[in-house]
Structures are given as structure tokens and as C-alpha cells.
A and B are shown apart, each in its own frame.
Chain A
Amino acid sequence: MSAAILVLVEHLKGTLADITFEMLGVGRQIAAAQGGQVHAVLLGKDVNALAARLGAADSVLLADEPNLEQPSAEVIVPLLQQLMAQKQASLVLLGGTNASFGLGGQLSARMKVPFVNFCKGARVEGGSLVLTSQLFGGKILSDVKLADGKGIVSVYPGAFPAEAGRSDKTPPVEKVAVPPGSPKVVFKRFVEPDTSDVDITKQSVLVAVGRGIQSQDNVQLAEELAQSLGGVVCASRPVIDQGWLPLSRQVGKSGMTVKPRLYLAFGISGAPEHWDGMQSSECIISVNTDPKAPIFDGSHYGVVGDAVELIPLLTDRIKAKKG
């Protein structure tokens, strides 16, 4: 079987996101096994210069119009629908990111082909495409088969190498028109994150707390530890949502991506959306009461134990060492 694959290019503020290259890489891998072309779909406002960097695709389908800044699903979905028909595409790859959130479900409903979420692995087996998804916060994997090779796939960020999707070639560019409509969801502006607080992306030591920290008082214990180490406290989403720390301290998919020398994770399960934001830390030490917590799978050092008990002990030790 050889049918085309569409990749929806992701970019934010004039920069291509890594997920774009990760998707192009998987697209190439599947096309190599099954035949068919890979088309990169690039839409936005003032984005035509980005096309030159998408050489891993056989062609770039470009819609560059003033009213296409961060368009909503009601603009993107009909365009993808039209391109699927035009290019006889059987597969559409979308980023498993906040930016592309929800597009897959809507496109799948329209095209009557299945949508596969959280995809971390893809292989061709006996002529069928088998996709591996990560469920339940990373605790379970599931394999599904796209028997006729048709589907819309949300590709998990960081799961595939971006290198495989980079190329120096200059791809042919084909202009496409967005189907007319009067959108009921209209982009107004970006709201930048609050920069009055410390910038956690610039810290070399981060003490991270998750739901396992249990109370705002215990966050204070983590503050003391961070101080003794010359670092700052950051957190997983539930701690931010509780209002125990400001949004500027959130690490993960919706928050910041950090790469400190030391990431101490207390009471964080290691859900993929958190892992996203801290996996490149030089040294990760995790403390969790659950010996099977997914965070241990990627940490350098792990402790099965009570964070609330360990934190003050560690603070004392460090203060003693520093004298």
C-alpha cells in the first residue's frame, strides 16, 4: 500500500517546534516501509520562510495568510480534510501538544477514520501499521493496529528523534487555499508569562514538588532546602493549580522546560506531561513513596520514601556540610 502522509507543521512565533521534525522523521520511517509521499502542511501568518527547513518532506503545502495567526480548529480541520482528499492521504500526523490539542478528534470524526492519541511508537508489521500509545500517566502502554493503514495520529513530543526529520534539501512548495468560513473562534493575542518572578529555566538547582508534598506548609520545607542549595522551588501542575506556587514555577508541557544541573523531585509521579519539561536535567534524584512510580524509570537516583520526612533531614545535612 502506498498512500500519502500529511504532517501538520508546528511553529510558535516564527520558530519551528522540535515536534515538527520528530513527526517528519516518523513520517519518513513509515513511508520508507509502506511507500508513498510525505507532505508537510504549513499554515500561519508570515511563515513562508519556514518552508525551506522542511526538506525531509517531499513537498510543503503552504497557506500563508494574514488571518491565519494561531487559527482555531474550525479553520485547520477543514483545510486538513480538503488536503487529505486532494493528496489521497491515509495518515495525518499531528503534534501531541497543547497547540494541536483537539484537532485529531475533529478530523477523525469528519473523515471517519480512527484517531490514535499519545503515540510513542510506530512500526509496520505484516503490512499493517502498529502504533504504541502511552496511557494512564505513563503507567500502561497499548498497541493498536491500523488495519487499512488509515488514521489520524497524535505524536507524543520527545518520543521520536528530531534528527530523523531534518534535511538540507529544499522542498518544493505548493500553495493551498484555506476553505472560506466565518470563524466563531478568533485568535486575539498572546499573553506572555509573568516574568516578575525568578526564571526557573535559568537555575542550576531546582527542588521540585508534586502532589505528594501534601500541603502548602510542606512546600515551605522545600523552600528551605532550595535555599540551602542555592536553588529555587518549582512544581508539577497540581501544586500550581492548588495555588501553592505561582504559574511561573510550573514545569512541563504547559509550563517551562528546564535543564538544571540538579533536579530533585519530591512526590512527583512522573506523568508524561511533567517529564516533558525536565527530562534533560543533568542529574535527577526522585523521592516517592510508590516504588513503581514512573519517575524512577528516567531518574538517575531514586529513593522510595516519604518526601516530607526526608526534606528537613537533607536540609540539615547540607547546611552542616556547608558549615
Chain B
Amino acid sequence: MNLIVLLKMVPDTVEELNVASDGKSLDSEYLRFKLNDPDEHALEEALLLKERVGGKVTVVALDAPEVDDVLFMALAKGADRAVKIPADQASLGTVATARMFATFLASGGGQITPDTLVLPGSQAIDDLEGEVAAYLGEALSLPYVGVVSSVSPVNGKVVVLKEFSGGMRGEYEVTLPAVLGIQSAEKPPRYVPVAKVRAVMKSAKIETADIAPPELAKALVVERMYKPEAAGRAQMLEGTPEDIAARIAGLLTERGII
């Protein structure tokens, strides 16, 4: 199979996020970036498919801080080809990003063959304009399913599971080529030792594909960005860990739980 995984860097929300002085964007000074969680699962699912049925895994990303490390990590895990599109991801919205990927895939760079699966992560935490996978399906006129947690090739098609609520999943049969928004892989994403990534950095290359950004960078104009007001703020318990354990045990006794 021709497996194309799209990777996106997102701000790490473990760090504090602040609004920039323009009041309309994130303050980038102290932002730390990490690979979008579902994208890591998309990569894993692609690698699992390659192991099961053979094929080639290509990873593609727009330019963003620390993206080279992530592309090398993907190669170290078993991807065959890594491509960077040198356009600043932060200035592009989802719609523009999807158009750039569509251009890449329609050009010689990507090539949609009859056995192609395009695998972006299901969603990212900053997808104000929607999910890349859905736009991409539309732009490439390919079938699309999102929130996918399992992909099995059967008779030239794939059978996928899409998550609903309450642990319920729906089984769909999808004709190839197709775009699948991956929510989680069938196995936890594999770990790759740093030494292996370092070795790959020396031996492998990241290709670049120059693609001009579309005229309209963002479909939506943000008027204001701000932090939510703490609505019903918790009553904070303070003290040494021992004190706190005692307080919680006390609360549970009061409530008749113990």
C-alpha cells in the first residue's frame, strides 16, 4: 500500500498558554511544540499496515518548530520517506493547510495510486476551522472517514472502525484510494531510542517540496483570543501531602463514602 501520513506540530498544553499582545493569537515566545497526538497514532497505524501487507510509508509536514526532529523520529520508526513543505504552519489555517497537502499529493511529490491511503490524525487542538482530513477528502474527491481506530485491508478495500460515543464503534467498508482521519492506532505508538534517531539523522535526508501557500491563509478571522474565566473554581486543599491525604479522607467520611 501507498501510505501517506500527515504530521502536525501543536503547542504543548502542559505548558502555560498566553495570548499575544495583539489579543488575537498565542504568544509564541514560550510555546513548546509537540507532535499532535492523533498524528502519532496515524503514523503507528501506517507502520502496522506496512508490516501486515507491505508498502511504503511517506510522512509529510509543514514547517514548524522542532518538526525536523519529528520527521527523523518517523524515519527511525520505519517510515520510508520524509517530506517537509517549507511553509510556516502557524500562519496557515486548516483550510489553507489542506490545500497545500492536496497540491502536494496531486503533484509528482505525492501521487495518489489506487492503493493509496492518506492518513492524517483525526483532529488537532487548534483546528478552529475544522479537520484537515475532511477538507482533504473534499479537495482530492476521495472518500473520507474520521475518528478511525482500526484499519484492515480486505479484498482491495479497507474495513475501518469509526468511534461513536459510549464505547460504540461503527464498521464501514471504504473503497481506495481514501483519506482516513486516525484517532488511535490498534497498538500504542512504538518507542524509538534516541540513539536510533541520531543515527538516522546522520544517514537519512528530509526532502523538501516547495508549494506556494494559497492566497487566503485563514478562512476565519479571529476577533479576540482570551483565557476562560474560572467559572466554578475548585476549593483548593493545601498543606503537606500527608495533610492533604487526611483532608480528603475526612471529606469522604463526611460524605458517607467511607
* Residues of A in contact with B (beta carbons under 8 Å apart): 12, 70, 72-74, 97-99, 101-106, 108-110, 114-118, 130, 133-145, 154, 184-194, 204-205, 229, 237-238, 241-243, 247-248, 250, 253-257, 261-262, 269, 283-286, 290, 292, 294, 296-306, 309-310, 313-314, 316-318, 321-322
Contacts and interface: CB of A to CB of B under 8 A. Distances in A.
B256 to A, nearest CB: 9
Given A144-B223, A253-B165, A314-B248, A117 B230 contact: no
Contact of A105 (B131, B174, B235, B253): B131
Interface stretch (B53-61, B110-118, B176-184, B192-200): B176-184
A284 B37 CA distance: 26
Nearest to A316: B245
A190 B43 CA distance: 26
Interface string B99-141: 0000000000000000000000011011111110111011100
B166 A257 contact: yes
A254 B183 contact: yes
A301 B234 contact: yes
A105 B223 contact: no
In the A-B complex, list the 10 residue pairs whose CB atoms are closest, starting with the nearest.
A193-B167, A302-B234, A105-B134, A105-B130, A102-B134, A313-B245, A184-B143, A184-B175, A299-B234, A102-B146
Contacts, number: 270
B258 A115 contact: no
Given A109-B139, A135-B125, A255-B166, 18 more contacts: A72-B144, A102-B130, A105-B138, A114-B129, A136-B11, A137-B13, A154-B130, A186-B172, A191-B168, A229-B257, A237-B184, A243-B187, A256-B167, A269-B14, A303-B248, A313-B242, A314-B248, A314-B249
Nearest to A152: B130
A114 B220 contact: yes
Interface stretch (B69-77, B84-92, B156-164, B205-213): B156-164
Contacts of A117: 127-131
18 contacts: A70-B170, A73-B145, A98-B162, A98-B165, A102-B134, A116-B128, A188-B173, A189-B170, A191-B170, A191-B171, A229-B252, A237-B184, A254-B167, A254-B183, A286-B234, A296-B236, A301-B234, A317-B248
A140 B19 CA distance: 8
B153 to A, nearest CB: 15
B125 A144 contact: no
Contacts of A250: 167
Contacts of A255: 166-167
Given A142-B225, A184-B175, A105 B234 contact: no
Contacts of A302: 234-237
B255 interface: yes
B32 to A, nearest CB: 13
A306 B244 CA distance: 11
A317 B246 contact: yes
B224 A142 contact: yes
Given A137-B13, A144-B223, A309-B241, A106 B134 contact: yes
B16 interface: yes
Chain B interface size, under 10 / 10 to 19 / 20 to 34 / 35 or more: 35 or more
Interface of B: 11, 13-14, 16-17, 19, 26, 37, 41, 94-95, 122-123, 125-131, 133-135, 137-139, 143-147, 159, 161-175, 178, 181, 183-185, 187-188, 219-228, 230-237, 241-242, 244-246, 248-249, 251-253, 255, 257-258
A207 to B, nearest CB: 12
B111 to A, nearest CB: 20
A3 to B, nearest CB: 19
Nearest to B19: A140
**Which among A136, A255, A285 has the greatest number of chain B C-beta atoms within 10 A?**
A136
B197 to A, nearest CB: 20
B122 A262 contact: no
A262 B245 contact: no
A290 B236 CA distance: 13
A309 B257 CA distance: 22
A248 B143 CA distance: 30
Contacts of B230: 296-297
Contact of B244 (A140, A238, A269, A310): A310
Given A99-B164, A300-B235, A261 B257 contact: yes
Contacts of B123: 101
Nearest to B251: A301
A109 B95 contact: yes
Contact of B255 (A186, A188, A261): A261
Contact of B237 (A133, A139, A247, A301): A301
A318 B249 contact: yes
Contact of A102 (B133, B223, B224): B133
A300 B249 contact: no
A254 B181 contact: no
Contact of A73 (B122, B137, B185, B251): B137
A140 B234 contact: no
A303 B235 CA distance: 9
